[in-house]
Each structure stands twice: as structure tokens, then as C-alpha cells.
Amino acid sequence: MSTVLIVQFIALAVSVLSFGVALWLYTWVKSQPSKNSRVETIAELIRRGANTFLRREYVVLAKFAGVAAILILLFIPHPIWTGGALDNILMAVAYLVGTAFSALAGKVGIQVATIANKKTAVAAQQGIKPAFLAGFRGGAVMGMAVVGSSLLGVTLLFMLTQDATTLLGFSFGASSLALFAKAGGGIFTKTADISADLTGKVELGIPEDDPRNPAVIADNVGDNVGDVAGMGADLFDSNVASMAAALVMAMSLDNGTPGKNVLTVFLYAALGLLASILGVGTAKMGRGGSPTRALNSSTYVTTAVYAAITALATWQLNLEWRIWGAAVIGLLVGTIIGLATDYFTDDTKPPVRHVAKASQSGPAFTILSGVSYGFLSVLPAMVGIAVASFASYLITAPLGAGYAMFGIAMSAVGMLSIVGMIISNDAYGPIVDNGRGLVEMCDLGDTALEITDSLDSAGNTVKAVTKGFAIAAAGLTVIALLGAFIAEVNEAIVTRGLNIELLTGFDIMQPDVFFGLLVGAAIPAVFSAMLILGVDRNAQRMVTEIHRQFKEIPGLKEGKAGVTPEYDKCIDIATTGSLKELLPAGALAIISTLVVGFVGGVHAIGGFLTGNIVSGLLLALFMSNSGGLWDNSKKYVESGHNGGRGSDAHKSAVVGDTVGDPFKDTAGPSINTQITVVSLISSLMASLFLTFSLF
């Protein structure tokens, strides 16, 4: 048995181990006490609403996936009537498997999050330690399951086909579903969040999770469908895309037969999941400890373990130390970007406190200061991505032709190596947010509310860090996918015997490249506008419904006993509106790529991808960080600073948070999926763009 095959079986074994750990964590979470009839009732409303949305969303996306699979069958990697039908069949099947795995990631997240939220709420009555563990281990179920399934899917598909290009189809399936799932979930969650805040906090001065508010259940449902299901599909997609891009280049460097470079990709990915499993096991917190410190320390443990065990494996198997160096550069830069994001979004740091102070002067100053700090926060991350790609390029270039771009791909694999821990931290956020809502709605006491407030604040900070990490990882991944696109074009030139020079790069002074560059740079801005306008229109409909209920249901506003809002009406508005709004923005990204490719050819697509990557990363980082900054500024005021709850500063901070909501939870994190999708489409369509372009 070859060493490559042994490593692939090791990858499969680590995937199975992660499923075992996920099952143990799920069983542990489920076994925690939650015997409180009021908590059970409200939690069931949230669970039912989340599953209803997911079911309706997946029906819509299944239709899209079916149409896309037929088009792939007919045209990719080449028109089916020109011969080689098996390649087209494999690509279509790989695409459908990718969508199914991505959908499963969302479903698993919803399943555990809607159990962990009530366990966290009840555990908060016992203390911060049990509440933290319930929230974190609930999130870790998703982390282990998502990364395990991505490694399992890529490994099995590669072992069956021995074709890295087919993996691009698998990755496109994951990415296209993630794009729509993240957009749809983001529109849902921010529709409800904005509506609940504006009508509750600003108009009536009632608490965030007051059960009188008709939007409060939809708000809690939204945390699950947006921040759990959507983000799970998003990071599943990023992990698969990074491995697919690296394997395309590895197969090229190994001359079409799996060798040392393919082995390195699978080995580093498997060890990354193993490090995450060990990191999850170390996440503990003392009675007087800080939840933020506990979450961050487990991330640092995972990072250190990964660096050590990959170094040991590199030494034992006599692999290239330069490739290891590229992977570790990505890993370290990802950690640094997370720390920079933390500085701009943590309420113990100056930016958040300055925005909270500015809120005392009115909402205009809240917006101006938040926008300014949001733009400032972009620089460290963009420089970090630039340094990671440049350093990885330089360190691996001496290995030979093609290794420089492979180094960038391995840097992306390294950055995403600890994605199991990143997803665990990210899913923790909405779980404890829901737990806090249940504590307030079910009146579980001031102590439990203080504990869940502390957990929620840590969740907001860590969630901002994980979003920054996910966007940075997507940035490195799509740079690697740009390399995969060049490799696919050159393979098509050689295979078809075309009398065309092989691609080595793109000259922006060429008119077709510059044309693509400008169009590509504009797409993320238009894409973001469509999503935010979707939230705007949907939230206006929900605010009208909330006003109707407060007006027409006697005793609701006063909180009379036995009077409950019509929660389902708000859930239905959020669901129907988000499903209506999610398709146009995603379709824009896909159709614009096809138009540019068929008009300008492969050089125009090179410019298009470059412009899309740079513009997309900038906007994604700005919106994600400014949104997190506004959110924590609001929470900082609510904790008693700068006037506290009900003050003018509080109302201004709520307005800032309302603007930031669709920034950080709808448009921002959806852009990194958008740039991945257009990069994958370009690689899959490379042969067609080369043959059928207008110019």
C-alpha cells in the first residue's frame, strides 16, 4: 500500500473520530437538566420555527441545485456531445454531493443549537461554568461534524475518482448552497433582530427579549438559521474550497499521479482536524474565569498543537519544510488577524468605548465613529492576507515552477486547519444568545441573566473574531483558486492542442483584463446592496405587523397575564421575505461571471477575479468589523456605562447596532462565499471561456 493511500485512510479515520467526538458531545449536552416547562415551551417554538425555515429554504435550493446539476451535466467540463460523458456525469454527481453535505452541515447545527440553548439557560441558574460548557460543547458538536464531513467528502471523492478537477464540482456544490443559505439566513435573522430592536427598545423601552414583543421568537430563530446553519455551510465551503484548490495544483505538480504533494494536503488537513479535537477537549473555565479567555485559550492550544504535530509529521515523512512553513504562515496570520479584529470589537478596548461615548451626542456620531473604526480595522487584515500570500509565495518558489502558487494554497489550508475550533467558537455565540433570551423570557432570575449576559458578550467578541478569520481564510483560498483557474486553463490549452501561449499571469494594462477588473470590483458592492435592501424591505413589513399586533391585541403592550403575541406571523414574514430576496443576489454573482467570461475570455476572467477578491475582502472585513463594533458598543452602554439602559446614548447605540446588523450578519459574511463561488465557476468553466468567448 502506498504512503499516499495510507495517509488518505488516516484522514478517513480522523473524520470518523470527529464524528465520534461530536456524538459524545451531543449526548452530553442532551443529558444536561432543563426541566422547566416555560423554557421547554419557548425553546420548542424556536426549534420549530428554525426547522420550518430550513425546510422551506432547502426546497427552494433543491430546485436551484437540480437545474444547476443538469447544466453541469450538459456543459462541464466540456459539452457532453463532444465525448467523455463520464467526466460530465462525475462532475454533476460531485456537485450534488457537495450541496447535500453543505445542507447537512446546516441541519446538524440547527439540531444541536436548539437543544443547547435551553440547556445553557437552565445551567445559568447553577453558575457560569456549567452554562459555558453547555454553550461551548453545543457549538463544538457542529465544529466536529462539519469539518469531519468536509474531510470525509473530499477524501472519499478523491480516492474514488483520482481527479482533483472533480473536487471543484464538489466544492462548487458546497459553495453555491452556502451562498444562498448564508444570504437567506442572514436576511431572516436581521429582519427579526432590527424589527424587535426598533419596536421594543427604541419605541417602547422594553428589554431585548421581552416576551410581549411579537418579533422576539423570530429573532431567536434567526440566530440559528443565520449564525448557525448559514455560518456552518459557509465554513464547510471554505474548508472544501481550500483543499480542492490545493489538490488541483498538487496533482499538476505530481504530474497527474498522486504523490508527495497530494499526500501533504491530506496529511495537513487531517492533522488540523485532530488538533481541533484536542483543542475542544481543553476548553474549560473556572467559576470566576472569563468566557472570552477560555474560548481564546482553546484556540491558541489548537494552533500550537497543529504547528507541532505537522512539524513532526514533516520530519518523519521527509516532506518539504518550505511547504510546512507556508502552512504555518497561514495559521499564524489567521491568529494575528483574529487578534486585530478583537481589538476593534471587544468592549474592553478603546474603539468600542469611543463609539459608546460618541453615542451620547446622538446617532449620527454613533454611525460616523463606527464607520471610521470599521474602515481602520480593514488594514491589519488586508495586510495580513497580503503578507501571508507574499511570504508563502517567496518561501516555496525555490522548489520549482508551480510551487509558489501551491505555497499560497497550502497557506490557506494552514489557516483553515483549525476550522473545527473556529466553528465551535462561532456556533457558541448564537447558542448563548438564545440562552440569554430564554432566561429573560422565562424570568429565571437576575443572576442567570447576568451570567448569560457575560457569556453573550464573549460570544459577540469571539463571533467577530471568527468572522474576520473566515473572511481572511476565504481571501487566501480564492487567491489559491486563481492559481487553480490558471492551471485549468493551461491544461485545456495543452489537451486541445491550441496554438495559444500558456497563462502565467494577467497584465492589467490589457483592455480585456482591465474590463474584467472593473466589473469584478463592482459586484461585491451591488451584491451587498441587494442583501441589505432585502433586509430593509422585509424589516419594514415586520415592523408594520408588530405595530398591528400591539394595536389590535388587547393587553399585549401592558403585558397582561395570559395575553401572548402571534409569534408565527412574524416568523412567516421573515421566512417568506428572506426566501424571496435570497435568489436575486446570488444569481447576480453567478450570471455576471458567465457574462464576463463569454464576452472577454480567460484574460477578462482573470481581471474579474482579481477585482472581485480585493473589493470583496475590503467590504466584507469593513462590514463585519463595524457591525461587531456597534453591537458591543450597544452592550457596553447597556451594562451601565455612558448613561446605561434607556438613556439617549442607549437609543443612539441601538440605532448603530441596527445599521450594523445586516452589515455583520447578512452582507459581510456572505461576500466571502460570493468570491469563492465566482472563483469556482471560473475554474469549472475555464475550458468553455477559452473556446467560446466573444473577443
* Contacts for 124 with CB less than 8 Å, ≥ 6 apart: 131, 435, 439, 444, 447, 448, 449, 451, 452, 455
Closest CA to 393 of 409, 370, 381, 378: 409
Place of cell 504547528: 307
Q: What is the pLDDT of residue 295?
A: 84
Distance of alpha carbon 338 from the chain centroid: 14
Closest CA to 429 of 142, 96, 62: 142
Q: What is the pLDDT of residue 287?
A: 63
Cβ(133)–Cβ(450) below 8 Å: no
| pTM over 0.85, yes/no | yes
- State pLDDT tens for residues 445-482: 888 888 888 888 788 777 767 766 777 777 888 888 88
Provide the number of structural domains found in the chain. Answer: 1
| Domain boundaries, position 101 | 3-692
Residue numbers of the chain with a pLDDT score lower than 50: none
From residue 514, alpha-carbon distances to 84, 356, 392, 510, 615 in Å are 35, 43, 27, 6, 14
Cβ(557)–Cβ(204) below 8 Å: yes
The alpha carbon dihedral of 321, 325, 326, 328 has a sign of positive
The total of other beta-carbon atoms located within 10 Å of residue 337's CB is 26
Q: What is the pLDDT of residue 286?
A: 66
Contacts 24+ apart (CB under 8 A), 35-42: 35/122, 36/122, 36/442, 36/444, 38/441, 38/442, 38/443, 39/118, 39/121, 39/122, 39/438, 39/442, 39/444, 40/118, 42/211, 42/217, 42/438, 42/441, 42/442
- State pLDDT tens for residues 611-628: 999 999 999 999 989 998
> Per the structure block, which three cell numbers stand in for 209?
427579549
> Per the structure block, which three cell numbers stand in for 545?
405587523
Cβ(580)–Cβ(541) below 8 Å: no
> Per the structure block, which three cell numbers stand in for 40?
421547554
> Per the structure block, which three cell numbers stand in for 686?
475555464
From residue 21, alpha-carbon distances to 105, 131, 141, 234 in Å are 16, 20, 8, 22
Q: What is the pLDDT of residue 675?
A: 92
Closest CA to 257 of 457, 49, 87, 4: 4
Q: What is the pLDDT of residue 288?
A: 65
> Per the structure block, which three cell numbers stand in for 78?
466540456
